[in-house]
Amino acid sequence: MIVVGVYVPSVDKDFDFYLDENSKVSALIEEITELICKKEHSVLNGNRNQFVMGSVDRQVNFQPQYTLKELEVKNGEHLILL
């Protein structure tokens, strides 16, 4: 498990998440969007398959078929969910 910060511009908030670095980005996007919807009591607009996750620190978008470990995401890294 790693701890990362995730900024979500659609709700203009930062969230801290403990994520399994062996999970694929596509699965994490789905999990994160569900948790944010529950926490914020709202719906994130758009198809979940169209969301993109990336690293703010490295200024790269992640390919959904890779794991965080394969993408070398480190503990404390700042991510963004668009």
Give the single-character DSSP code of 1.
-
The band of 50, judged by pLDDT with boundaries at 50, 70 and 90, is confident
2-44 pLDDT, tens digit per residue, is 999 999 998 899 999 999 999 999 999 999 998 988 888 877 6
- pLDDT of res. 72: 97
Q: Which residues, in sequence order, are CB contacts of 20 under 8 Å at separation 6+?
A: 1, 68
As for how many domains the chain has, the answer is 1
State mean pLDDT over 57-71.
97
DSSP string, 9-71: TTTTEEEEEEE-TTSBHHHHHHHHHHHHHHHHTS---S-GGG--EEETTTTEEPPTTSBTTTT
How far apart are alpha carbons 75 and 82 in whole angstroms?
21
Range of the domain at 20: 2-81
- pLDDT of res. 41: 80
Kindly report the CATH number assigned to the domain that includes residue 22.
3.10.20.90
Give the total residue count for the chain.
Answer: 82
